[in-house]
Chains A and B, each alone.
Chain A
């Protein structure tokens, strides 16, 4: 009962037109839910609605009740209903179609019922017929509103789709109804459905005596008036249908039945000749659809008109500028407009469908004329535009026709190819294998560019016709033999001709080289065993291209073209897995290039060899393996060129003994270092500059070319890991390096490569590299450093630098550690920590970075079982800060490191190194979110005060390093501790550091005693502020603004801080524009303007001036009253900036001045 009460309420709500649409929807939903749950049955609902359904009030009856019922049914699409109910409902709606007031409800009711699927109770065919009849007789579609029209079309569509038999019974009636409905329709969504309705009708009545056939002319008239589609109102209707879809729908409708043919084709041809590009494209597309659907026999009638029209379209849409550039080697070489593309598609379709169309093409006078044109000009540039067009279009026509089918290809080749060869003076080979009159034939070859182009186009077209090996068996051999044998007859001389074209080319004309290489490429891309190009010929092509690469000594167009062609062929072989060709390729191209890499002396510059090799070899995994092997060898040979190898060479025994003695006797560090030094000087090795340069170039190639493509090439990772290990092997077996000149570059390159390889390697591979590296390091003299006690005296005593070999080993090892993932196992962590600690105190920053990475990735002690390390984070920290025994504070200023930093002991050098090192360690801790970083930050801030706690003044250089340490802590580093090197990164770590340090820095600034300390504190603060995400700044604008402004004025004093100043200025400019900062900016406007005005004449950095002026322009967004008083001041400053030495500043100044003048009164224009 309650349900019924509610029902009345909801019904009232729905019927009431004055209520809002949301109300309506709610009540509708409520009723639908109760129906669905079964609380209410349809019968009950209808009984309850009795009054509304029969009332004389039209509005209530139509809008309220019938629509309600219809919408309800839409909701209940999947609810099973009794057939009797469906029957009576559809009867009701059918009857209501005749009443125009309630037509919307009736239509949607019918639609909802007709759309019902099988299980849920469906409308019978008889009922559907009745609906269609009633609709056809009583509804004037075009007199209805937009939405109702759409419903009508949908209903028609549904009826035709779901009740084809019933509709066939109706016959003519449906066709009439459709014609009437479409006539005059203008709305895209309705048209979309209307076009589909036409298509359905055509499918329904295929017989030539059917209603569609008899009404074809009328029906076509109604739809053809939309062609070509043109939207008059393009904007504002987002929900509408895009032009392309509608045009496609129209095209399908037009091509839906062959009965339209007598009307459609003439119309389309007429539109094709129009000048409107859209009309051309549409008619070409539509003609293609028609060609598919109307069938050959009907199309045949129009060939005579079709061919000239199509030809004209091709001529009109082709541009004459043929590109001889690198990028067009694998593409047609000229721009393809949409018209052109569609024309080509149509041509291909027509030829494919009916070979007799080709007769028109073959006999065409213009096509035949082209051979004369070709032989008139030798060079492409010399041709007239008309001749160029002729050649391009004809080659396009012929190649497209050839591509369509094997049959057409045969015809084209039979008719034209020999003629073309004659024109070009290329002779066929008489007996298989050898060429008659080899010399004479090349001499008589006339390399007409136009002819070559046509020839290449034909070859490229035909190569797609070679079936892949599986299809090969099904195709009869004879079908494809014809063109294949023609090409085969000429292949040797063709290759000869192309080769001579490439070789005859010089630098100022790329056309020869381009055509030659493209021709060779086309010849080399024939697939499979039935290829017209034999293996020996294929190898000849490869040899030619490879020799071009090897012979050139500078990067010419020819060289690049040849390289690209080789890469194309390589990837083609890989794609179709042609094993035979792969073998040839390997033997000729890969081996040759790799051997070039290996030999350090050849005419080609080393970077070019490397580029060529890496490009060519990355086409297939096996080549990559080969290449990396080659690289390894090359590296080893050049490496051994500049260092003494321990293996085969016999060293001075004495020297060696000294070394071994000193290693065994670990106390005499000093003496061992001396001996090492001695060793280095006694061995006179002729360090080869070239080989060391080659080495670094090779490493750069590995990092820049190979590593980025790791994901694309399988098996590359493994080869690279082997490469890294062999690098270590090489270093292990060599004992002395003699480099000084290019050494730094080499070490840098080696570090980078090593780090990146480790970074991308899997954990297992990382482990093996680490193990190898560890073995090398433990056999070197470096472990001796671990045992140096961490006392000032000992560290100060360690004056002499490491030997170059040790330095290399240390740097490489540090790179390995930096790249290692947290899961990799590092042996003997404790002594490594010691080693790095000592080495960074000796000034090796890489060691500090490695230590930071290690600290970042170590597992905490409480973490329980860990397989990777024998040392937890806590232990490592204990070692570093040397404080495990005495006090609780682990890494504060009381520690040894802290004391050095604060200058309590040790020299200035030691102090600055310690500060830098501490920064890296702090970064490692900060990124993993460890609390110890707070104490490190405190130590660093302590360093920024003018005096330390015992009253000694801090050295300016130490203070500077401490300020820069904040940059290290906050900025994202490229070389270590980033995502690429698997750093452990806690989210929001920057924000956390910001909130800890900024208040302390602020208070320190307030209490600072000397100007220097104040400046340094500002630098530190600027580093922190400019590296934190902008949102954090915006949240704290109020607090930060004054300190930022103060910082800007303090930093602008000294040119040393210009970069810092700039980044701080960028922070300020970020706050100016944001809505959050607006209030405080407005409050501080006077100070901001004062500061910016000063910066407009900052002499040291242009971008600062530029940004300051831009900021001034931005300030105009503030309330007029706030900024007006500063007008004079700003204008003065900006006027001065008009005379700035830099142009960009002047441009900004002009804009800014203009803007500021405009707020002043009209009477002072300048």
Chain B
């Protein structure tokens, strides 16, 4: 899938912003409940998340 990221962001930037905001609110709620232990539910999932982000950008450029 060949996608122009800049163009895509221009049309869909608002959606991305909403998702990021929702993500931070959800993270805030979890931190409010779990405190420092939030790290225990985030750290194990960081490696797949980071690879997923890198791969997604790579595949969009193809």
A and B physically associate: no
